[in-house]
Amino acid sequence: MRYDAMRMGSSQPRAFPSPLIVQSDKTILVEVDNPGFEAARDAIARFAELVKSPEHVHIYRITNLSLWNAAAAGMTAGEIIATLESFSRYEVPGNVIRDIEDYISRYGRLKLEKQDGALVLRSEDEILLKEVTMNKTVRRYLTGEQIDECTVVVKPGARGYIKKALTDIGFPAEDLVGYVEGEFFPLHLRSTTRSGLPFSLRRYQQEAIDAFYAGGSAAGGSGVVVLPCGAGKTVVGIGVMEKLETNTLIITTSTVASRQWRDELLDKTDLEEEDIGEYSGEKKEIKPITLATYQILTYRPRGAVEGDNDSFPHFTLFNERNWGLIIYDEVHLLPAPVFRVTAELQAKRRLGLTATLVREDGREKDVFALIGPKRYDAPWKELERQGWIAEAICNEIRVGMDDELRLRYALAPERNKYRIAAENPRKLDITRAIVEHHRARGDRILIIGTYIEQLKQVAELINAPLLTGKTSNRARMQLYDDFRAGKVDTIVVSKVANFAVNLPDANVAIQISGTFGSRQEEAQRLGRILRPKNNGSPAFFYSLVSKETKDQDFGAKRQLFLTEQGYRYVITDTFDGAIYG
C-alpha cells in the first residue's frame, strides 16, 4: 500500500513508501524520515500511545485504554481502521482490526443516566447488562431494582465506584448523568496582566479548554489535559474556570504550588485577593476559589482506621461549598484516599492537569474512570518546535567510583546498594565543574537530589543556598524571589523541587540523585527548566549516575518517559564544558 502526497496538501501527487508499519502485537512503527511522518503521527496519536521515540523509528501501541480514550473523544472503529490503512505500508493485520472493533464497541454500550430522579445503568444489549450485573463487584453498587430488561438502578452515591468497576472488567460506561452547576461565581481573563504584559490564550491552550468543556454537554466536563511542564497547564485550568463561572476547588501538590496558582489567578484574571482562599497546614480559608493541598486533605489523625473516609477530617472541604469544578493539579500524583473521595464526587466537573499520565502504581485506568478520559494531549517536542517550551539538551554523565567505594558497594546488601552508588563522592567534583562552567555563562542553575546529606555537601562546596522539605514556606518563596531577581544564581534543592517550582529563568538542572526509577520524577525535573527563555537559549539537563551500578540502571528507567517524548541523552564519562557550549 502506498501513501499519496496529496494527503499532505501537495499540488503534485507522488507515491512513496507509507510511513507506518502496523504489527500484529498492536504496535505501530513510524518512520521519522518519511515525508508523511508528521501527518501520520498526528493521526495515530488520537488512538495510540507513544512507547518510545528514538531517532529514526517511533513506536506506538494500541491499548484498551488508548482506544477507550479515542472513543470518548468521538472516534469510531471505522475511522481508526481507515487511518491505519491510509498510512500503513503493508496490510493491517486482521487481528488488530478485530481488536479495534471489539474494544471501541465496548465503550458506551453501557450508559449511566438519570431516570425519574434515580441513577440508572442502561444498555440496549440485554445480555451484556445481565452479564455485568452478575459480576460480584458491580452488583455491590446496584440496588437490586430492575426497571426493565435494559435498565437497572444504581445505588445513590455509587456513580464513581460503578464506573471504576465496569472499567476494570473491560466495559467502561459512558457517563451521561451530567453535573451540578455549582454556585455561580464570575471570572474573566484579562487582556493585559496586572504585571503589564499582553496576555491571550495560546492556540493549543484554547483547544485543550474546548476539548474539556465540549460545549457544556454531559459528554464533556470531566477528564485530563496533558501538557509539558512550562506549557501553561495552570492557564488551561484558569480558562476552564472562566468557561464555567462557578465556585472552584483547586488541589495542588504543596502550599508553594497553591500560592503560585494564586499569583497566576490574580495576574491573569479579574479576581481580587478576597475571592481566593488557602486551605493548608497554615490557613483554613474557604472562599469561592479555594486552593488546597493533597497533603492537608490526606492528613489522618493517629489511630484512624485504614480505608475509612471519615478518618480524613479535611475531606469535609469537598462539601463546604457548592463547588461546580474541582481541579486536580499534577493528577498523576493523586493519592489513593483522594481517589476514594473522588469516586463520590462524580456530580462535580473534574479537570486533571498533568505533564504525564504515567503512574508508577499503574492506576491509569482509575484516573480514566474517576477523573475522566484524556481530553487533550500535546507532544513535548512539537511544542518545542513551535517555541512554546525551550529546546532541551539532555546529558547523562556516568561517574566512576573509587576502589574503596566499589568494594563497599559490592559487599552491601541489595537494599543498600542504590544509595551507596547515588551518594558517590566523585559526583561532587563534576557538579562543581558544571556549575562553574554555567555560572561563567550567566546561567541560572538548579541542583536537585534525593539525599539531604549529599545536598548539604554540594551546597557548601559551591556556596549556594539549600532548600529542603524543612525550609519554611516563607523562606522558600523569598529564595525563589531572589532567584528570579538575579540575586541568587544557583539553588540546591531536594525533592520538593519536583513539582510546581515556577522559576522561568532557570535553564540548567543537575540531577545528582533520583528516586530509584521514577519516570514521573525525571519528567518533572526536566520540566523545571523548560519555560522558554527571553534570549532563546536552550535548557541543559544533566543526570549524574555512578557507572556500572544500580544508580545507572535506575537512571535508564527514569529516562524512559523522556526518550518516549523524543528527547535524546548524550552519554559521557566526564564533563567537558566545550561540548555543551
Please work out, in degrees rounded to the nearest 5, the angle formed at the alpha carbon of residue 167 by the alpha carbons of 335 and 113: 105
Q: Are 270 and 310 in contact (CB under 8 A)?
A: no
Among residues 233, 208, 207, the alpha carbon closest in space to that of 524 is found at 233
Q: Are 129 and 110 in contact (CB under 8 A)?
A: yes
What are residue 448's DSSP bridge partners?
493, 511
Distance CA 560, CA 567 (A): 10
Q: Are 476 and 254 in contact (CB under 8 A)?
A: no
What are residue 152's DSSP bridge partners?
121, 146
Among residues 397, 396, 342, 401, the alpha carbon closest in space to that of 568 is found at 396
Write down all domains in the chain, each with its CATH number in brackets: 2-106 (no CATH), 111-175 (3.30.70), 203-378 (3.40.50.300), 388-580 (3.40.50.300)
Q: Are 565 and 522 in contact (CB under 8 A)?
A: no
> Which spans in 249-395 are helix H?
255-268, 294-297, 336-342, 364-370, 380-385
The residue with cell 499569583 is 263
Alpha-carbon 265 to chain mean position:
21
Distance CA 368, CA 73 (A): 13
Q: Are 370 and 344 in contact (CB under 8 A)?
A: no
Distance CA 508, CA 541 (A): 6
SS3 of residue 262 by DSSP: helix
Distance CA 282, CA 477 (A): 15
What grid cell was written down for 231?
506549557
Q: Is 442 exposed, middle or buried (0-12, 13-18, 19+ CB in 10 A)?
A: exposed
Amino acid at residue number 575: F
Q: Are 46 and 73 in contact (CB under 8 A)?
A: yes
* Cβ-based neighbours of 14, under 8 Å, separated by 6 or more: 4, 5
Parts of the chain with a pLDDT under 70: 1-16, 53-54, 303-310, 358, 360, 496-504, 516-523, 560-561, 563-566, 577-581
Q: Pairing state of beta strands 49-52 and 57-61?
A: antiparallel
Output phi, psi for 435, to 5 deg.
-65, -45
Residues 251-293 have pLDDT tens digits of 998 888 898 899 999 999 999 999 999 998 888 999 999 999 9
Tell me how long the chain is.
581
Q: Are 183 and 140 in contact (CB under 8 A)?
A: no
Instruction: Kindly tell me the number of DSSP H helices and DSSP E strands found in the chain.
Output: 21, 25
**Could you give the count of Cα atoms lying within 13 Å of 20 in the half-sphere of its Cβ?**
30
Residues 57-114 have pLDDT tens digits of 888 999 999 999 999 888 999 999 999 999 999 999 999 999 999 999 999 999 999 9
b/e map of 239-264 (b: 16 or more CB within 10 Å)?
bbbbbbbbbbbbbbbbbbbbbbbbeb
The residue with cell 555512578 is 546
